[in-house]
Amino acid sequence: MSARPRVEVMHGVNLDQLGRRDPALYGTLTLAELERRIEREAGELNLAARFFQSNHEGAFVERLHALREDADAVVLNPGAWTHYAWAIRDALEIAALPAVEVHLSNIQTREPWRRVSVIADLCLASISGHGADGYGEALLMLRDELGDPS
Ligand code: DQA
């Protein structure tokens, strides 16, 4: 059996505060709990998940720069950076990997400024408002895109 496809799951600014943020919008899981759930779901899909979180835009950009060597696909929730961080968009373009954008809350039904995503057109899909389930949906899309190596 060949190696499992590697999916980098990236969380941006303030996502390390899950569990303390409004549960009506973001659910009750901490980031560690969310990552354990995503890791289990990735395993069930024969994918190897790896995780990254930063509150520093430059660190997030540099992780994206390194991804070409380290990952086959990326799931990303950049938090508020989604709405204005053009440097993250450029870095995602440089990474040139299949990508799916995930948001726990529904960014289309909140404040008008959240409706803009500067990364959406670089992603296979933008999943928003499905809570933690959105990550499983993103992994499934990427597994279908990459193909099952087994
Ligand atoms: C978020 C939505 C963003 O607008 C917000 O700034 C976040 C989290 C989400 O997962 O719903 O930090 O990306």
List, for residues 58-107, the tens digit of each pLDDT value: 999 999 999 999 999 999 999 999 999 999 999 999 999 999 999 999 99
What domains are defined for the chain?
6-146 (3.40.50.9100)
Residue 29's nearest CA partner among 133, 132, 143 is 132
Tokens of 107: 């960014």
Q: Which residue out of 11, 26, 65, 135 is catalytically annotated?
A: 26
* From 82, 113, 137, mutation site for ligand 1 pocket: most ligand atoms within 8 A of C-beta: 82
Contact 80, 13 (CB under 8 A): yes
Model confidence, pTM: 0.96
Distance CA 50, CA 47 (A): 10
List, for residues 85-97, the tens digit of each pLDDT value: 999 999 999 999 9
Beta carbons within 10 angstroms of residue 87's beta carbon:
15
